[in-house]
Structure 1
Amino acid sequence: MGYRGNMDLVLAIGILLLLVSMCLFQYSILFSIVVLMISFILIKPHRLLEELLLGTRIVLPTTRGRTFFLVERRRGARREYWYGAYLELTDVHYGVPDLDIRTFIGRARTVLEGVMFDPNANYAFIVKRRGEKTRVFLQAIVKDLEKRNLKPRMQNLLTSILKHLKSHGVEARLAKVEEIDEILKFEEVGITRRAFIIILLIGILSLIGLRTNLILHGSTTVIAPDMLLIYALVSILPSAFSRTPHYKIISPLKILLSNEAVYTIPTPYDVYNASKWVHQVFNTSGDFTLILKLRPAPQAVLDAIESKAYKLYEWGQAFDKLKTITRSKRYYTIAERRFKSKERLYIGKAVLISPERAILDQLTEIMQQLNMRFGSTLIKSYVEDIMYGYSSNPKSRDESLFYTYDLIPLSPLTIIPPKEVIGGIVLGEDEYGREVYIDFTKLPNFHGIILGSTGSGKSTLARSLILDLQEQGINSLIIDPLGEYCKLMELIGGIVLDMSTNIIDPLELHGLKPESRAESIAWACSLIFGLMPVQRDILKETIIKMYERREYFTLKEVLEELEKDYGTEVRDLVARIKTAFSLFSSPNTSISEILSELKPITLVYKSPDGTILSEEVSKFVTWMVLDQIYSYMMKEGIVHRPKIAVFIDEGHRLLRLPGEQSIIVRLYRETRKFGFSIITITQVPTDIPTILYELAGFIVVLTGPERYVRSLMSVLRIPEDVAEWLAFNSIGCGAVIRYGDPRPRCVKLRIREEALKTSR
C-alpha cells in the first residue's frame, strides 16, 4: 500500500510540475524547461503512451523449454508484475484415459490449500481433453510491484507445491510453453497500431516544423504550447521505435468448472468493471459472463423465503423479465438451468456482449430485487457437478478446454484462501501436520456447533474445550441433561446443580418489563406444549396480574392461580403445563448468582436416584435458563471479549423447536456483543434450527458412519474429499469449518488427558 501510495504521489507531483512549467514560461524559459524535464522524469509519459497505444507487455520466454511468462501492467508511474508458471499434474505426460477429474483435482486442491496462503499468489486448474486423453495443468501466479521479487517467490512456491504434491501421491512436472500455447493463445499486436503511431508521430513533427518555420521567419515567438509539442514528441518517440513485442490474449475468459464454493458479485456493474479490468490487463475485448446463483437451498433459506411469502418460482420470473429487456442477440444471451430439483437449486448464466448503459441499468434493478427477496443467498453460492466448457474447435467435440476453481485466471474474482489462524485454542493437527486453532477472541462470532454420531467423542471434545477455555480466563456453564460432566466438575472444582431441585428463577426481570417476561414465558409454553393462541393469552395475562399483586412469586403459584378457573381452555392449559410449572417452586436460584461464580457450573437434569426430566420439561427448563442468561447479559452491558461459554449438550433433544422463533436463534444472533459464547452439541443436525449453521463462528464435525456423513453433506455442503475423511477415519478425527473460511479443515483432534480421564 505504501509503494502504491508513493507512486501515486509522484505522478500527482509530476502533473503539477507540468502545469507549473507552463505558468513559468512567460517569466523564464530556462526555469520552465528545467521544471518540464523534472515533470517528464516523474510522469514517464513515454511509458504511459506505450501502454495506451501498444497494449500490455506480455514477456514470453524465447528459449525452447522455458515454462514461465511475465505480464507487466503499467499505469503511469505505477507498475504491477504478474509471474506465471505451469505444471502438468497427470501421471502420464501425454494424457490419461478415463480420468476422474473431480476426484483428481480434489486431491490436488486439498494439497494446494496447505501451500497457497500468500495473498498475492493464486492458482487455477486447466483441464485439456483431446479424444480419449485428458491432461491437467496447474497455473500458478504470483504478483508483485517489484520485478526482482517475482523469481525467488515463484521458485519457493513451486518448490513447496512439488514437494507437497509428491508426498501425497500426485505426480507433477514443469510443462513446456510450446505444450500449452494453445491454452494461452498469445497473438502479437499487428502493424495497424504501429502504423497509427507513425502517422501520429508524422503529424506532431509536421506541427513542430511549421512552428519552427514561423519562428525563424519572425512571424511569431516561442509560446508554451510549443513546449508541449516537444514534450509529446519525446513521449511518443520510444513507442515508434520500440522493439519489445506486445501481445494480446485471445483465449476465452468466460469458462467455469466448479465443485467448490464460489463467491459471486452482487451487481452487474461490479462484474462489468472487473471484466473491463481483465480486458485492460490482457489487451482484449469482448463479452463478459455474469453468473447468478441461488445455493442448493438448505432449510434455512427455504424458511427465510417462505417467511416472507416469496416463492422460488420468482427466480424463474426474474429471468423471464431479464429476457424482455431486449430481444437483440447482439446484446446478450440468457441461459437458465435447473439442477437437482429435489434440493431446489437454481442457476442462471447471463452473457452480455458489449452491453449498453440502459441494459445495465435494468439488470441492476433486477439484481436489487433478487437481493431483497433472497438476501445474501445470491452473494455466496455453492455449485456442484456443474461444468461449463469451451471447445477450441466448434466443429469438433474431440478437444475441449476447462478452467477450474476460478472464474478466470489472473482475475480479481479469483478465490484466494484466507490466512491461517494462529493463536487461541489448539484443536489438533491437519493432514499436513500443521496446528489448527480456534481463537475465541478473534472470531467474528463466538458461537459454535459440535456435530457427531453416537460415540464419536462429542462430549469428550467439549470437556477438552472447557479446560482450554478455563486456562484462558473464560468460564463455562454446561447444560448437561444426563450428568456426563459431573466427574469433570469434581476434577477441576466446579459446581453441579440438580435442576430437579435447584431450579433457576424464570421470573427474575433483570431490567425487563413484566409484560416482556410474561410474553416470553407464554411464547415458550406455546411452542413446547402446543398451546392454542387463546391459552397463550390467558397464561400471559395471569403472569402479568401476578407481577402486579406481589414482588416475588413462582411458576407453581401461577399454576395454582390458573387452577381456580374451571373453563375448558384453562383446564386443558393446566394439564399441559402442570408437570413443568410444578418444578418451579420456592426457593428458586437466581441466574445472577450462578453466573457470578468464578467456577465452571453444570446444570444436570438427572436426579441422584436416576430420574430424568421428560423431554418437554427439559426443553422448557432449558428455554427458561437461556432466557434468563439473555436478560442477565443485556443488563450487564456490552463487552469486547468472551466471558462465559454456555455448552448445551444433547442439543438435538433440547432445541428441537421452530427455527426463527427459538430462543437459541435469538442467542446466537444477539449475544456476541455481551461476551457470551453458545456452543451446541448434537448428533442430529436437522434437529436444531438450520439457521444456527449460518450464525455459528465455528463448526466441528466428528467422524461417523458413511450414511451419517452423507446426511451432513446436505446441511453443511461438505466437499466429497472431506466427507471421505469423516466416513473412513477413526474416532479422534474431524473437520473444522470456521466463519469466513470456505475450506473445511480435516483435523486429527488433540484431546486433553483430563478430558479423557473423566469420560464415562
Structure 2
Amino acid sequence: MNRIVLAIILAFLSAFTLPFNYYASLAFALLSYLLVFKIVYTVLAEKYYGVPLAEMEYAKQKIIEKTESYRVSVWLKVANTTRTVEDFLTAKDFVKATQDVMEELMRYSPTIVIKKTKSSLDYYIKISEEGKDIQQVFRNLLTKLRALNRAMFREGIELKVLEPSITSKIIGLEKIKRNRKVVGFLGVISLMLIIAPPLLILLALLTALVLAHRGGYDVKGNWWFCSTIDVGDISDRDFRAVAEKVLNSLMSLNNATIIISGSPEALKHVTKLERKVTLSYTLGTMFDWLMTTRKAVFESDRLERRKRRNEKIYSVLIFTDSEKIKVDLEGAGYAFTRLLSKTQLLDKIYGVKKTKLSKLFFKHRETVAFTLDLAPFSPLLGRRFLPSVGIPLGEDEYGQVVRLSPKELPNFHGIIVGGSGAGKSLFLRHLMLNLFLNNVLITIIDLHSEYEDFIRALGGVVYKTPKVVPDLSYVFRDKKALRLFVKTVSAAYGLYSRAEKTALIEVMKNSRSFSEAKRKLPKLLSELEPLFEVLEKGKLGIEQLLEKKVPFELSLLEIDEEIATVITMLTLYRIVRYYQRKGRVRSTVRHIVVIDEGHEILSVLEEADTVSLKKETTLTKLVKATRKWGLFFLIASQNIESFSKTLTQEVGYIIA
C-alpha cells in the first residue's frame, strides 16, 4: 500500500510540474506508472482473465505439479483432537501445548486452511516437496508425512490423508473465460492514443500485451491479507482469549475461511529485526518522533517476549474472507488490508503456472511471525470436529449437532454417567432405538426393570429372575469359566480367606451341576446356598437367544445384588464366547449389551481386582477382547469412580 501512496504523490507531482517542465512531468509520471504497474497488471489480469494454474496430475493421495521441477503435495485433515482450546484447565497449559504443536507443524512449511461451513469446522494441512527427481521427491515427502504424523499424535492430534479432489471444495474456485473483447478494446485504445503523450501509449500497449497472454481461475468474494503482526508481550490468558475469540467467531458464521502459509526463518533474521528496532528507537529519540519511539519500544518488548518464551520465527502469509475474523484479529494486533492480488492465495492452494510473465505478478510481502503469534490458528482451535453422520445426541452451545459415530471412535464401548433423575434412562432409550434401527442386536441387563416396555416395543422378550434364570452350567465344563465363577463369587460374597476359596474350588471341581454343588457345600460356605438355589433353576439358553437375533432383557430386580453380580458376569462371558467362535468382523457394531446401574452390579468385582493389585480388571479384559468381534458394552452408572482407571481408558466414549 505504501507503493500506491507514493505512486499517487508522484502522479500529483507530474500534473503539477507539467506546465513548467514537460520532461520532469514525464519522469514523475513514468516513475508513478512503474511503481503501480505490477499492481495494475495483476488486478486487471485477475479480473478479466483469472490466474493460470499449474498443470497437475491427481494420484490417489497426491497432487503432482509439472513445472521446471516436480512439486508433489498431500492434503491432510485433522480427524480428531483429544484437547481443544476450552479443554485446558489453565491458560499456561494451553500456551505450552499450542507452542509445541505449532513449532512441530511449521517445521514442514505447511499451508493451513481453517474452513467453517454451516455444519462443520474443518482443519486442513497441505504438505509439499519439490525437486527434479520425482522418486526422490516421493521418498522425501513420505518421510515428512511420517514424522509429522508421529509428532501430531504425541500431541493428541490425529491426521487423515485426503483424496486430492478436496482442493476443489476448499475455496470457491471459478474458471474465467478468455475475454477477447477486452483485448480488442485495449488494442483500439492503443491506436487511438498515438496522438497522446508517449507514456499513455506505453501504458495501453503494455497492458494489452500482457493481458492477451492470460487465462485461468479466480476466487469469489472479498479477501483480506495480514500485512503486519504486532502482538506484544501479552499474558498467557490473553493468548488464550484471542484463540477463544477466533473460535467463537468461526462457530457463529455459516461460511468462513482462514489460510495460513509459512516457513521457518533463520535466527539471523532476528538480528536484523533487533538492528531495525534499535535504529528506529535512536531516530525517534533524536528527532522527538513520538510514534516512532513508541513503536520501537513495542517491537523491543515483542522481541523480548520471543527470547523469554523461546519462540521460533517464521515468514507467513495469512488470508481470510471473513470481515468478522479480520476485525477480531485486528483488535489483537494483526493488521489487515484488502487483498489486491489473489495470485499468491491460489498459488498456496493449487499452484500457479510458471511462465515468463510470472515475474510481472504483484506479490504481497510475507509477514514476520513468532510461534505464539500463530496461536489462534493451531489445530487446538477446533472443537471437533463433529462427525456428520451418527446418532444425534443434541446440539452444542454453537448450535452444531453433536453425533455419536462408531466410525469416528476407536471402539464403541461406552460409559454413561449421571445421578438419579439426570436422564440416563431416557438417553439410553434414544441410543438403543437408533442402534436397533441400524440392525444392531440389543441386550439389556437391568437391575431395576426399567426397560420392559421398551424392549417389548422393539419386538423383544423380557426374562425375569428368579423365575427364568440363564443356564450357567457350562462353568463345570469350561476351566476359564470356572475360574471366573470362583473369582466373581469370592468378590461378591467377600470370600477373601484362602480356606474359603479352596473349599469353593473343590466343590465346583467335584460336581457336575449346581444342585450337586449345593449339596456338597460345607458349613464354611453356607451363605452361598441362596446363590446355588437360583442357579440350579437355570434353563435359559443364551446362545439360542443370540442365534435368533431377538432383543431381550434380563431383569434382576427380584434377586439379591450378590446373585445379580454373578449372573451378570457369567452371562457376559457366555455372550463373549459365542462371538469368539463367530470370529472377527471389520468395523461393524453388531451387538450392544447395556448394563443399567452397572456400578451396583460390577463395582464389587472391579474393587476386588484393584485390591488384589491386578493391572487389568476382569471387565477391562472383556472390553479389550470383544471389540474385534463387533460386541460392545454400554454401562450406565451414577458414579465414574465405581470403575477402574484402566476401564475408563479402554472405552471409546464417556457421556456425563
Q: Which has the higher contact order (CA 8 A, sep 6+)?
A: 2
